[in-house]
Amino acid sequence: MTEQVEAPELAIAKDIVRRGLMGGGVLVGICMGVWGLDGLWSSGYALGLILFNFWLAASFIAWSFQISPTMLMVGVMGGYFIRLGMLTGAYFLVKNIGWFEVLPFAITLVVAHIVLLVWEIRYVSMSLAHPGLQPQGVRS
């Protein structure tokens, strides 16, 4: 019986979500300190969107990879536009609500995306022997 191995992109996305939940509180806290509760809700909303965005991207890739290389390309590019539309729609959904502040939302959206990707680079294996995350205790 063969063991079911988790897709590397899903493992990486789970790790990014885990790190985002650990470190995202700092950015949300800073936004709360500057903009009050409106900053907290706006920044938290952006952080939730980012983490969902990473998970959704990995899910599109893992799903489309199983079908064909052409479908993988369609999944990556189509998924990008779907996720971009989702982020845009999420903004328009709340832009006129009283608790929403644009600046902490935008800062969190940009800074957290970049910081999480750079943070994750240290833990991604660049080896065919261990695709996805590096095994515990291995540093390159």
pLDDT of residue 12: 86
Residue 40, token pair as written in the block:
């907290």
CB 116 within 8 A of CB 58: no
Residue 1, token pair as written in the block:
């019986």
Tokens 């993988």 -> residue: 72
Q: Is 124 helix (H, G, I), strand (E, B) or coil?
A: strand
DSSP-assigned letter for residue 140: -
pLDDT of residue 82: 93
Each residue's pLDDT, cut to its tens digit, for the chain (140 residues) gives 555 667 888 888 898 899 999 989 999 999 999 999 999 999 999 999 999 999 999 999 999 988 998 999 998 999 999 999 999 999 999 999 999 999 999 999 999 999 998 888 777 766 655 556 656 655 55
Q: How far apart are alpha carbons 84 and 12 in whole angstroms?
A: 20
